Structure 1
């Protein structure tokens, strides 16, 4: 059995009102008894995730970050409702237990879901997960397959098609993320204007419309502890919507750090995609296109878009740190990370034949 992902002590300043959580949980689940034990999952730089234990019964509570947040960001109610709609046709979604829109409880919207007891791969393999190169490749392909499977979900059957705004998804993303960056820029970070202009100029038409996750990574995938090749859960549906599948793949590849990437890219690594047996980014694209039955001349646009979007997300978090809206020291170097991503985007643009 591989090491199961565990919650830890709550970070200072991110504590929950235990009595309020207890009252809410017992209203939703009257069979609960005793006092809850609440801990926090250490991963993630966006929404906050806690484990709420009542004896042997374990639940996961998701809430927005503390402090001032961007309008329309961190929509917990939307995330929970997307999960409820998707669960019947995509079984890797955790069950929603309860949703709260009463700010008298915790001062924000939040929801509680089933805890999936499993392995989550973060920066490196757990010490007790000894995979050879062939096994690592098998795991890698299985994780990509679940993204392909998501993109093949019938959105109309779930009712999620109403999330989409129709054709023009690519154009909306470039315009939207460019606007977000300009609003979140700080004096110590580059302007990304050349990158944004290139993306605007090279935009392809949408290749299709489907349910997309928008943050599909190894640390949002839960593996069976008794069979680490088996994906039993996919987490973090905050940004799920109807959109272009190749934009979704570009988002995922922004986090896909290879063993031969430069030191700047290695500093950003948060998942074990550098391990022997993991596909390269080029191999991921080829495998995905084959499994999805798609064909394109170049993936350059989507790769640059994914890195630019990641830079905007990082910059939005850094903006909060820079202006004293959060004191979380994890975010202190995010401005440097955004600057690195601008340089990487510019190098890819210079090498592109688009």
Structure 2
């Protein structure tokens, strides 16, 4: 089966780096690399930059931050690599880290290289060649949720994991932190959203449900499926925002991207994964399944759903601010200002429903 992923493209001019320098660095830190590398760029993603480095008999994936101003604590490539290295022994879906670099003289920023996992990565629509009927899609969906539950069950007291986050008080830190990030990312015409931020501050749970490893960006397009079995997960990617925190916050973040078949046309336009397909669980069914399997109380999930949408709105607005300031010329970001405003309205809709 061919790899179902966005087609690789030539490296964008604003994302280019000195190939000779990266070649020299990689050969000094990874055994067995031969010949001159070929470099291509994965077009997916709107935050960190991801490249394929191809040698004669080996392929590596390189991750680095984007150019331009960066939000505080964002785009920390070395932290992401450290998390992945620490987790790999407990969670076999983490790609192996092969090299890390904190010397900006090499390509102008920190970066790391990891193994490439070949398999299927689902994007906006489910490819027909997977051959999944509604029952198969449902099994895929449940497997996807099971891998998140499996992550949340990892013992965080083991070596290398306990210091990945501050733990207790995570919800309160997230509400205040993301509210401040949004205020700093404002652009002309943006929705102030002070009502949304006030509601989140006033309605947050009195305490965390638990402190566990959370991915913080768990979506189908960050999951690699086995090339010979689309119902088997072989990899989970993009660990930049992983930390120790409340598992229901992780689920809420995932559901912010969960566009189902009966959603309104505006939210349908946000869809970047095939969660609308026949057989996919609805958001309500995902929440109920997660609660049943994890044993956590999900009866008051409205806060987590609203916060997940708000956090996504902030991320979209941060990216749009970079575009508005001319720090990136990527045309896909031109409509992010409108998208952030639409997401603010969806936050309000979820808040109204939470009040019954």
Establish whether TM, by shorter chain, passes 0.5: yes
- Deviations along 1:21-53, one digit per CA (max 9) or x if unpaired, are 111111012421110011111110000000101
The answer to whether the Cα contact below 8 Å between 2:138 and 2:280 also exists between their aligned partners in 1 is yes
For 2:182, the equivalent position in structure 1 comes to 181
Q: Does 1:146 align with 2:113?
A: no
The answer to whether the Cα contact below 8 Å between 1:63 and 1:110 also exists between their aligned partners in 2 is yes
- Deviations along 1:237-287, one digit per CA (max 9) or x if unpaired, are 000000000000000000000011111101111101011000000000001
For 2:50, the equivalent position in structure 1 comes to 49
The answer to whether the Cα contact below 8 Å between 1:3 and 1:126 also exists between their aligned partners in 2 is no
SS of residue paired to 2:163: helix
How many angstroms apart in 1 are the aligned matches of 2:276 and 2:192?
30
The answer to whether the Cα contact below 8 Å between 1:2 and 1:128 also exists between their aligned partners in 2 is no
Q: Does 1:91 align with 2:92?
A: yes
For 1:331, the equivalent position in structure 2 comes to 333
Question: What is the deviation of 1:349?
Answer: 1.4
- Deviations along 1:285-329, one digit per CA (max 9) or x if unpaired, are 001111111123221000000000000000000011111111111
How many angstroms apart in 2 are the aligned matches of 1:99 and 1:297?
43
- Deviations along 1:147-171, one digit per CA (max 9) or x if unpaired, are 0000000111142111222321111
How many angstroms apart in 2 are the aligned matches of 1:184 and 1:157?
37
SS of residue paired to 1:179: helix
Structure 2: gaps of 5 or more residues: none
Question: What is the deviation of 1:2?
Answer: 4.9
TM-score (normalizing by structure 2)? 0.97
Question: What is the deviation of 1:127?
Answer: 4.3
TM-score (normalizing by structure 1)? 0.98
Matches within 5 A, 1:26-45: 26-45=27-46
How many angstroms apart in 1 are the aligned matches of 2:148 and 2:64?
25
For 2:318, the equivalent position in structure 1 comes to 316
SS of residue paired to 2:100: strand
How many residue pairs get aligned? The number is: 354
How many angstroms apart in 2 are the aligned matches of 1:328 and 1:257?
25
The answer to whether the Cα contact below 8 Å between 2:214 and 2:244 also exists between their aligned partners in 1 is yes
For 2:290, the equivalent position in structure 1 comes to 288
For 2:192, the equivalent position in structure 1 comes to 191
- Deviations along 1:64-108, one digit per CA (max 9) or x if unpaired, are 012222232100000000000000000000000000001110010
SS of residue paired to 1:232: strand
- Deviations along 1:192-223, one digit per CA (max 9) or x if unpaired, are 11100110110102111000000000000000
Q: Which moved more, 1:36-45 or 1:342-351?
A: 342-351
For 2:230, the equivalent position in structure 1 comes to 228
For 1:270, the equivalent position in structure 2 comes to 272
For 2:305, the equivalent position in structure 1 comes to 303
How many angstroms apart in 1 are the aligned matches of 2:21 and 2:31?
15
The answer to whether the Cα contact below 8 Å between 1:315 and 1:335 also exists between their aligned partners in 2 is yes
The answer to whether the Cα contact below 8 Å between 1:38 and 1:53 also exists between their aligned partners in 2 is yes
The answer to whether the Cα contact below 8 Å between 1:257 and 1:273 also exists between their aligned partners in 2 is yes
How many angstroms apart in 2 are the aligned matches of 1:266 and 1:56?
42
How many angstroms apart in 2 are the aligned matches of 1:64 and 1:53?
20
1:127/1:66 CA distance change after superposition, 3 Å? farther
SS of residue paired to 2:39: strand
For 1:341, the equivalent position in structure 2 comes to 343
SS of residue paired to 1:171: helix
Alignment root-mean-square deviation, CA = 1.2
For 2:244, the equivalent position in structure 1 comes to 242
Aligned residue among 254, 257, 276 for 2:256? 254
Question: What is the deviation of 1:351?
Answer: 2.2
Question: What is the deviation of 1:4?
Answer: 4.1
